[in-house]
Amino acid sequence: MKKTDPTILVVNDDGITAPGIKALIDTVKKLGRVVVVAPDSPQSGMGHAITIGKPLRLDPVELYEGVEMYKCSGTPVDCVKLAVNRIFRGKKPDLCVSGINHGLNNSINVLYSGTMSAAVEGAIEGIPSVGFSLDDFTLQADFAPCAPFVESIAKKILEHGLPTGTLLNVNFPKEAHIKGIKICRQAHGKWAEEFDERLDPHKRPYYWLTGEFQLNDQGEDTDNWALDHGYASVVPVQFDMTAHHAISVLNGWKF
C-alpha cells in the first residue's frame, strides 16, 4: 500500500464478526488502506445513539490478515467518533463505508438504522460516507452480487466526493443478478407496530416489538420500487433535518 492511497474507514452495526462487514472489507481493501472499527456485538436498530453513561472500550483485533481492526464496546456512532478522535486523531479518512448490513435500510428504516447512523456520523465529520444494506437477514447471505456495485460506488465517491452535508444510502435486492443502479428518493412508508405481551416466570408482563411495514407510496422513483424490480437503490441523504418548506408557514403564525 502506497502512502498516497486513500484511507477507508469501515464500520457496521451487525458487529465486527458479521459476514457483511467481511464482504465490505474484501471489496474496498482493493481501493486503499482499510481501518475497521466496529461494535463488539450486534447493535441493529440503535439509530444515532451514543454512549454517555459508561466508559467505552476500544481494543485491537486480528481477524483478517493485513487489515487494521478494532472492536468497540459502544454503538455504531461511537465507533466513528472513536475512530476519528483516537485512531485517526483528527486526520480524517478519505471515505467512510458502513455495512454491508444484513437487512434493508430503505424508506423510513433509515431513521432507525445503526448502519446508516454510522455513515451519517461520518458525513457530520466531513468524511464522504455511504451505507450499504442487503435484503437478507441470514448469516448465509450471499454478498457476492453486491461487490461490483460497492466497488463502483466507492470509486466514484473517492473520485468526485459528495455534495456538502450529503451521504448515500445504498440498498441491494436479494438477487443473484442485480440489474443495475437506480438513483431514487426515499419511499413514504411506516411500521404498523404491535407489542406482543408475555409473562415471565414471576408473572410480570414483558413485551416483544413486532410489526409490519406499510408502504404508502406507489411512485416509480422510490427505493422500494427499485428494489422490487431487481435494482440497487441509491438515495442521497442529508443530516440537516430542517423542514425548509415549513418556515414560511410558521412565520405566518402569531406567537
Q: What tens digit of pLDDT does each residue of 20-79 get?
A: 999 999 999 999 999 999 999 999 989 999 999 999 999 999 999 889 999 999 999 999
Other C-beta atoms lying within 10 Å of the C-beta of residue 253: 6
Please tell me the pTM assigned to this model.
0.94
Q: Could you tell me what percent of the chain has a pLDDT over 90?
A: 87
Domains of the chain by residue range: 7-185+219-251
CA separation for the pair 189, 207 (Å, rounded): 24
Query: How distant, in Å, are the alpha carbons of 20, 41, 64 from that of 95?
Result: 18, 24, 20
Q: What's the pLDDT band for 208 if we cut at 50, 70, 90?
A: very high
pLDDT averaged over every residue in the chain: 95
pLDDT above 90 (res 192): no
Express each pLDDT in 149-187 by its tens digit: 999 999 999 999 999 999 999 999 999 999 999 999 999
Q: In this predicted structure, what is the pLDDT of residue 1?
A: 58
Pick the CATH number of 7-185+219-251 from 1.10.10.10, 3.40.1210.10, 3.10.20.30, 3.30.70.380: 3.40.1210.10
Percent helix, strand and coil across the chain, each to the nearest 5: 25, 30, 45
**Partners of 95 in the β-ladder:** 8
Helix (H) or strand (E) holding 181: strand 181-183
Three cell numbers, residue 202: 414471576
Mean pLDDT of 202-229: 93
> What does the pLDDT read at residue 195?
92
